[in-house]
Amino acid sequence: MAFDFPGCGISEGDWVSLGHYEKEDSEKIIQFLKKVKGIKNILLWGRSMGASISIMLSENKSNLIAGIIADSPYANLKKLCFELGNKKSRLVKFVFERAWQFMKEKIQKAYRFDIDELDIVKYAKNGTVPVMIICSKDDEIIQFEHGKEIFNEYKNEEKKIMIINGKHNDTRDKALVKIAADFLWESLKNKKVKGEGVGQGKHLKAMKRMSLG
């Protein structure tokens, strides 16, 4: 299953919450696939915002999700906004802090969520799902240090990081996609949930992938 969140791609909507409400939407879809469609093996493949949401969903979810590919996630929204603003004009920290507080109050009042909660590293510290993180040294939007920080803090030892070349929205080459697919397949084979094993030889045809982006 591949889909665009509200306000993204070809989906309707005028705004995104950069992870807060999208996480809730994803959890509902996962529950639908599990309970209504009877799908046992769910794998997440998210990119950019979708990658960060995938990490958020990894928190104590090993019973629901078998593996995650997180391509170009941001580690902390506030940190990312400061970096992007600083790239355009040299921001003084206290000026940014005042602007952030103003924006935080406006968003909280209008959309009823706290943007300070979009600290992805906090979720990574409780991440129980095998994860492969992809980040690029050439990414002009999300610096590759974000992916490294998430990787270093991620709880589950079944983790892998790929540092590649290429811009934020560049198409990933076939070799990288193959590595990611193999990682997900190994995650499926290693999943220790009674009654949810995948037989040998079925490979990627046996899995249900949920692509977030």
Q: Is the pLDDT of residue 209 over 60?
A: no
Q: Is the pLDDT of residue 86 over 70?
A: yes
Q: 195: exposed, middle or buried (C-beta count within 10 Å: 0-12, 13-18, 19+)?
A: exposed
Residue 31 lies in a domain: yes
Length of the chain: 213
Residue 99 lies in a domain: no
Counting the structural domains of the chain, the total is 1
Q: Is the pLDDT of residue 67 over 50?
A: yes
Residue 110 lies in a domain: no
Residue 90 lies in a domain: no
From 100, 101, 148, 96, select the one nearest 124 (Cα to Cα).
Answer: 148
Rounded CA gap, 158 and 65, in Å? 14
Contact (CB, 8 A) for 144 and 167:
no
Residue 147 lies in a domain: yes
Confidence grade of residue 212 (pLDDT, cut at 50, 70, 90): low
Q: Is the pLDDT of residue 93 over 90?
A: no
3-state SS, residue 19 = coil
From 89, 97, 85, 152, select the one nearest 120 (Cα to Cα).
Answer: 152
Output the domain CATH number for residue 17.
3.40.50.1820
Residue 151 lies in a domain: yes
pLDDT above 90: percentage of residues in the chain: 64
pLDDT digits (tens, 9 = 90+) for 27-55: 999 999 988 889 888 999 999 999 999 99
Residue 104 lies in a domain: no
Domain housing 6: 2-76+118-212
Rounded CA gap, 96 and 35, in Å? 45
The model's pTM is 0.85
Non-local CB neighbours of 153 within 8 Å, separated by 6+ positions = 121, 124, 125
pLDDT digits (tens, 9 = 90+) for 112-141: 999 999 999 999 999 999 999 999 999 999
Contact (CB, 8 A) for 68 and 129:
yes
Residue 32 lies in a domain: yes
Q: What is the mean pLDDT of residues 150-168?
A: 97
